Amino acid sequence: MKIGFIGTGHIGNPMARHLIEGGHQLTVHDLMRDATTNLEELGATWAPTPKEAAAGSEVVFTSLPGPREVEAVALGDDSILEGASPGAVYIDLSTSSPSSTRRIYQAYQGKGVQVLDAPVSGGVVGAENATLSIMVGGDREVYDRVTPVLECIGDKVIYCGPIGSGMVCKICNNLVTLSLAVFMPEVLTLGVQAGVDLEVLARAIGSGSGRSWVLEGKFPTSLFRGNFEPGFSLNLAAKDVRLATDLGRELGLPMEAANLFEQRYVEALRRGLGSMDSDVVATLYEERTGTKLRTGSS
């Protein structure tokens, strides 16, 4: 299948690579040409604009930071919409706004181009191993048609409902994990200050009903080691929490806890921590209590 792929960063690049390895013919575009070098070496063709990446493609993917970037590539000058042919399918893998996704869907309907929102979960490791969860919204017939392509990049492909449903599910998913990154340090500090070794405490919680991916899969390689080299950046995390609180406001929902957690991310951004790993938000609580949550192996 001829595929256009736009946005070949930390997560987009390995997804694009898996599509090539799956036998698909890729045309790639990124603002940083160097981000596509390995893909070109594998046989991908470079396109200087999203419009040219979409031209002649049966499926076009985007993997971008957020709604502003997605709308620019989908609807702006030299956009996918300008290059895509009737019958093509545009699939957005980014974490974006449901309302923005629905606007794009409506704009593309006029040209006969189908749109799916398909945000991914699993981070860089999931992208590298093709073990991502993919939460898909859009027309069921279109989803069924492109599922084999999606299975090249993820092993958990879930149909979530009409257009925008994938974004809603991803926003809810990320709100859980990003809230825990703020809340869990309070829990762990409580246990440590009460005299329990951090590794023992984490293992005990992880074996009980309090287990979570943040505690078992994320903190051991980041917070517990004092390692905040960017994987999933604080900038992106703050954007995702904001997407959740924005959606709550659109729906008129009280979201006291989510808004409180969002302010912790805002504070971390104001301290200039945006380019670091999202778990660096936990260090704000460490400062307040004077307790470093580090294991003996750190």
Cα-only R_g, the chain: 20
Dihedral sign from CA coordinates of 275, 280, 284, 290: negative
The crossing angle, in degrees rounded to 10, of helices 234-251 and 165-193 is 120
How many C-beta atoms lie closer than 10 Å to residue 196's C-beta? Answer: 14
> What distance in Å separates the CA atoms of residue 238 and residue 54, rounded to the nearest whole number?
30
Strand partners, 234: none
Task: Identify the pLDDT of residue 199.
Answer: 96
Strands 2-6 and 59-62: parallel
> What distance in Å separates the CA atoms of residue 27 and residue 232, rounded to the nearest whole number?
26
Task: Identify the pLDDT of residue 298.
Answer: 45
> What distance in Å separates the CA atoms of residue 154 and residue 157, rounded to the nearest whole number?
7
Contact 175, 37 (CB under 8 A): no
User: What SS3 class is residue 147?
Assistant: helix
Please name which of 31, 18, 214, 6 lies closest in space to residue 94, comparing C-alpha atoms: 6
Task: Identify the pLDDT of residue 296.
Answer: 77
Domains of the chain: 2-163 (3.40.50.720), 168-289 (1.10.1040.10)
Structural element, H or E, at residue 82: helix 80-83
Strands 45-46 and 59-62: unpaired
Dihedral sign from CA coordinates of 154, 155, 157, 158: negative
Give the distance from CA 143 to its chain's centroid. 20
Q: Is 170 a catalytic residue?
A: yes
Q: How many residues does the chain have?
A: 298
- Please list the pLDDT of the chain residue by residue as tens digits (298 residues): 999 999 999 999 999 999 999 999 999 999 999 999 999 999 999 999 999 999 999 999 999 999 999 999 999 999 999 999 999 999 999 999 999 999 999 999 999 999 999 999 998 999 999 999 999 999 999 999 999 999 999 999 999 999 999 999 999 999 999 999 999 999 999 999 999 999 999 999 999 999 999 999 999 999 999 999 988 999 999 999 999 999 999 999 999 999 999 999 999 999 999 999 999 999 999 999 999 999 975 4
Structure tokens at 52: 């040219």
Write the burial class of residue 287 (CB in 10 Å: 0-12 exposed, 13-18 middle, 19+ buried): exposed
Please name which of 43, 37, 42 lies closest in space to residue 8, comparing C-alpha atoms: 37
Task: Identify the pLDDT of residue 230.
Answer: 82
Name the catalytic one among 51, 170, 218, 239. 170
Task: Identify the pLDDT of residue 231.
Answer: 83
Strand partners, 5: 28, 61
